Structure 1
């Protein structure tokens, strides 16, 4: 079991490298070794963030992107979980579904964009569709894998104890598959932003991707770097939420309990 104070120390340690990189970056920029048009100083990026926040444009674009990501995650995550559950439980479902899913998964986002625009135009539907598509695959794969990896002896033990099929699923199979499912959630959170970046660079009138593309037209490197930093911070926050869910939902698991290593 971890000793008191160890985990906070590890959290502080994990931030040392990013902080050092920012300090070095600032020093190189202030010394003139980095051109402001190539990579502006962190202080310049912060001033830009403050100005855009005061004008309201940054918060508006951030809110739009978060709503798109949330909608796409909810739709794609639900589809991925349902299909993964069907394939995990049924070999017939695997034969009917899995090959098609894997073929679609192999198609790059950029290759799909022209067709998606034909289907949905350049409105919100196009962006939410691409996010949903990207989110569905990690959850589908990890849900299927988690169900397939359940120890058959546990299932047999449940049957010996007289559990019905629904009780087996609720008490043994889904809890056993939950670590793998939550791993899929963590991967899909990162994929959601990747898909959204691609979607928002085509015909968007708002959102972080639109903000970056608009800044490119005016050579506003500070704004472009700001959007990249925001994406990174959102990714860290989303991953932290996923880790928190793991600790809460898997408190019974020896690898995720309070005393387990993070």
Structure 2
């Protein structure tokens, strides 16, 4: 199938599903008090916008996800670089970090609530945890996978440690780092959805929980739609950055 044909299919399938959904609800096959309808979702979004809840709530959720991602991502870059460059650091740190990685981080929610209380801190911590490990693992493996001949070249050119890190190690590990970033962003957004279900006073999750109290199915589905849409847009954006960065990386290595 051609590229244009693929694009048509990608657009046609979700539109077709939306049409079927609307027809099923309108005909009574699917009760709207169970799944609302596309028209009901649009109406719910319009009502949220008219009450000045839509954009402030979305902004709050994005800010939470961004802060948790930055904290977890920064720690992932630091420890991934450290363990990737140092065999001693790997011996000391990696086994412990891997033990924490295999724990379902959602199971840590009770501990996070005890440690940090019921404010923003446990939500940010949960998102940071989800962001940390994909970046740590992918960066660590990418650094270890750099062609050893580049290290020999650095020694011949008498590069110091900082120059080797800047000119060889980090550029060489860039594709792996970007893969880690993509998975970390997906994990951060998924963790945000879970985090906003407990004691949130703002954000999309807060709107969802308020709608649940009043059995507002359309509003709940509208919030789920927002979560899904933002997640898809984030993934598309990161894929574009990844594609361009890897293309640049390949062209640089070809020189």
Correspondence for 2:198 among 193, 198, 202: 202
Structure 2 unaligned runs (5+)? none
| Deviations 1:214-255, CA, capped at 9 Å, x for gaps | 222222111111111111111111112212222343332449
Maintained 8 Å contact 2:72/2:132: yes
By how many angstroms is 1:13 displaced?
3.7
| 2:85 corresponds to 1:89 | yes
| 2:147 corresponds to 1:118 | no
| 2:218 corresponds to 1:222 | yes
Distance 2:250 2:10 in 1: 23
Maintained 8 Å contact 2:127/2:188: yes
RMSD: 1.9
Query: TM-score of the superposition, structure 2-length normalised?
Result: 0.92
Maintained 8 Å contact 1:109/1:195: no
| Deviations 1:29-51, CA, capped at 9 Å, x for gaps | 11111111211111110011011
| Deviations 1:179-222, CA, capped at 9 Å, x for gaps | 11001111011111111122111111111112212222222111
Which one is further off, 150-159 or 49-58?
150-159
| 2:130 corresponds to 1:130 | no
| Deviations 1:11-33, CA, capped at 9 Å, x for gaps | 44422222221121112111111
Maintained 8 Å contact 2:127/2:191: yes
Correspondence for 1:148 among 129, 144, 147: 144
| Deviations 1:90-135, CA, capped at 9 Å, x for gaps | 1111121112211222222332111111111111111111111111
Correspondence for 1:231 among 195, 214, 227: 227
Query: TM-score of the superposition, structure 1-length normalised?
Result: 0.89
Equivalenced residue count is 251
| Deviations 1:45-64, CA, capped at 9 Å, x for gaps | 00110111111112221111
Which one is further off, 226-235 or 242-251?
242-251
| 2:19 corresponds to 1:23 | yes
Counterpart of 2:44 in structure 1 is: 48
Aligned-partner SS, 1:33 = coil
Counterpart of 1:35 in structure 2 is: 31
| 2:53 corresponds to 1:57 | yes
Distance 1:225 1:250 in 2: 37
Runs of 4+ with >3 A deviation: 6-13
Which one is further off, 7-16 or 139-148?
7-16
| Deviations 1:55-91, CA, capped at 9 Å, x for gaps | 1112221111111011111111000110011111111
Counterpart of 1:182 in structure 2 is: 178
Distance 1:123 1:131 in 2: 14
| 2:114 corresponds to 1:103 | no
Which protein has the bigger helix share?
A: 2
